[in-house]
Amino acid sequence: MLLSEAVKKRILVLLEERKINLHKLCLNSGISYSTLSSFLYGRTRTPNLATILHICEGFNMDLVDFFDDKIFKNVEED
């Protein structure tokens, strides 16, 4: 699986687990809705690390916890 796909899937799983919608994540993270939706729905390939850090802040989690998931085993570079 490509890294960008793994990141997308991780975000979608966290949204579902925490029972929040994309709009709430955007408010919590300070990332615009258009930026995050562009990534999740295919218009942008890969967010930079700073964006992922803000996403983690929106989920109230550490970066290490975001990547501590089996989905990131054996990922490939985009």
Side chain identity at residue 42, one-letter code: G
Note the pTM of the prediction, 2 decimals.
0.90
How would DSSP label each residue in 46-59?
---HHHHHHHHHHH
Residue 43 is predicted with a pLDDT of 76
Domains recognised in the chain with CATH numbers: 3-70 (1.10.260.40)
Six-digit token pair at 17?
């687990």
One pLDDT digit (tens) per residue for the chain, 78 residues: 889 999 999 999 999 999 999 999 999 999 999 999 999 887 777 788 999 999 999 999 999 999 999 999 988 887
Q: What residues pair up with 2 in beta bridges, in sequence order?
A: 76
Distance CA 44, CA 39 (A): 5
